[in-house]
Structure 1
């Protein structure tokens, strides 16, 4: 499986291959004005051609482990302008969460534009009036709009679809509000078909001490729905078509800490260890100040 990532080093964008091991040296390739999206599109889905396109005629930059602190990894294929990326997802997709009386297409929601995506180590913002927040360890599909705007599958990564599940439990019609938390995402883009089986463990630390742990299972085998059908129906809507737009689609989660009775709090640190794929992402939860009643701008106000 070919894995690529993008980062900023010395204020310039670079790309790398594979999932770097902790404490290891790092080899990067300057993008030199190119975009990772364009290079991958030119490879036409051929992983070997993609690697050749990404590394050919580029002088590598080799960093010692001590210099890796100067590297800032980015969400995969994140455009320069966050408005050119849409973050969305499906809910209630897994077999453990659905029953026989379900629609033939799960509910879809929007989390925001590209700036809601947070790389490992960055805090995840939670609305100040959140009712009960939980992590959701998920596969994230990445699509890019072709020259006609039609989203084309590029690869997958993993993420944390942080959700105010308490708000949704109070009122099922408030799913759209429940999803307006930041989303964690791993920077490592896997150039292959969505994984059939993904397993791992979530750890939530409070004051530096593990407060909750639990396993998770996801991947296409865990879905109640047919993934290609889900995606084709979603992207049949031309409102989502725009050349160059990057789509990050979270495809749903297994049970979370909420279902075990745990309640996340401000300052908790959530770590998702995707054991099957050697990927780990960790974020601190940060509640935003609660707005006082009537303090939000009204139409026409500045």
Structure 2
């Protein structure tokens, strides 16, 4: 089962994807978040909560896309209560890309880079046995829900940015129960979107490079995630493909298990605040930046995984004028 959220006369709506062309609205106020809270509070499977509220009429999916009415498939009523985070160096092959970026900033490299050491930890201990704790992954913060851009909407590039590059990833979507228990609602295609030039200068600037917009959706996949997923990441410029590359994800292509990544995120009590939404990106090994691509204003990212229905598409919009931020004293 896959869900989308969209605007209908400025009201939040949620629907089941019936086909590539049609969605079936669900009779509920509050969207996917409200459905998840009912499932948590009543102990019912989310699919059962959805099926009990399905409407009769169908809505044209393409029309929602054309009219830019799509929303991220899970949102919190208050964006400040949505936390957007991620983990890096999780995919087989991701360390080669990262190490190559960092090696360019080093006069000589006779030993493993810190990135390769981190990756090695994951390969050796990222998939622990049930009940055991595995290696801690790299972790980063992107922002609260205000940094999330809907599918089809523009990813804004701040004027101070050095780069604007896509990161095609899976995102886990979660709601925290009233008792502090994290519940996974499902998964979505994500574009984690980062500033790779800033990161390449010095990996200690990774935190700065991640404080950017991002997007996920348009569809939320409920249920088990396939172990092996093959997708395509593409950049379109002036209506023509500029760059395209396949990417692999799913646990079969990862150094860490999803359970290990989730454990090391939610082990912090501050990330188990009742009622909060979490969007957690699981990493990638495929970047256009690694192939020398420099994006421009108006370029469009397209990330697709067949199991997730429609692709995630976002154009780029570069902001003009660097503003000096002055802090005033009271």
CA 1:42–1:241 in structure 2 vs 1: closer, same or farther (change >3 Å)? closer
Superposition CA RMSD, Å: 2.4
176, 182, 190: which one pairs with 2:221?
190
Q: CA deviation at 1:85?
A: 0.5
Alignment of 1:1-302 (within 5 A): 2-18=1-17, 20-21=19-20, 24-32=21-29, 35-42=34-41, 44=43, 46=45, 48-55=47-54, 59-64=55-60, 68=64, 72-98=69-95, 101-102=117-118, 103=121, 104-292=135-323, 295-300=324-329
Q: Given that residues 152 and 313 in structure 2 are in contact (C-alpha distance below 8 angstroms), is that contact kept between their aligned partners in structure 1?
A: yes
SS in structure 2 opposite 1:87?
strand
CA 1:97–1:36 in structure 2 vs 1: closer, same or farther (change >3 Å)? same
Q: Given that residues 37 and 177 in structure 2 are in contact (C-alpha distance below 8 angstroms), is that contact kept between their aligned partners in structure 1?
A: no
Q: Given that residues 37 and 77 in structure 1 are in contact (C-alpha distance below 8 angstroms), is that contact kept between their aligned partners in structure 2?
A: no
Structure 1 residues without counterparts, runs of 5 or longer: none
**Greater strand share, structure number:** 1
Q: Given that residues 15 and 36 in structure 1 are in contact (C-alpha distance below 8 angstroms), is that contact kept between their aligned partners in structure 2?
A: no
TM-score (norm 2): 0.81
CA 1:155–1:201 in structure 2 vs 1: closer, same or farther (change >3 Å)? same
Structure 2 residues without counterparts, runs of 5 or longer: 96-114, 122-134
Q: Given that residues 162 and 179 in structure 1 are in contact (C-alpha distance below 8 angstroms), is that contact kept between their aligned partners in structure 2?
A: yes
Q: Given that residues 167 and 194 in structure 2 are in contact (C-alpha distance below 8 angstroms), is that contact kept between their aligned partners in structure 1?
A: yes
Q: CA deviation at 1:206?
A: 1.7
Q: CA deviation at 1:276?
A: 4.1
Cα distance in 2, alignment partners of residues 91 and 66 from structure 1:
34
Q: CA deviation at 1:129?
A: 2.1
Q: CA deviation at 1:51?
A: 3.0
SS in structure 2 opposite 1:252?
coil
Q: CA deviation at 1:112?
A: 0.8
TM-score (norm 1): 0.88
Per-residue CA distance 1:206-233 (angstroms, 9 max, x = gap): 2222211111111111111222122112
Per-residue CA distance 1:65-117 (angstroms, 9 max, x = gap): 68645672221220121111011100111110238632422211111111211
Question: After the TM superposition, which parts of structure 1 deviate over 6 Å for at least 4 consecutive aligned residues?
Answer: none
Cα distance in 2, alignment partners of residues 6 and 75 from structure 1:
6
Per-residue CA distance 1:222-260 (angstroms, 9 max, x = gap): 111222122112211111121110000000012211111
Cα distance in 1, alignment partners of residues 157 and 116 from structure 2:
33
**Greater helix share, structure number:** 2
Q: Given that residues 10 and 70 in structure 1 are in contact (C-alpha distance below 8 angstroms), is that contact kept between their aligned partners in structure 2?
A: no
Q: Given that residues 125 and 182 in structure 1 are in contact (C-alpha distance below 8 angstroms), is that contact kept between their aligned partners in structure 2?
A: yes
Name the count of aligned residue pairs.
Answer: 293
Q: Given that residues 25 and 63 in structure 1 are in contact (C-alpha distance below 8 angstroms), is that contact kept between their aligned partners in structure 2?
A: yes
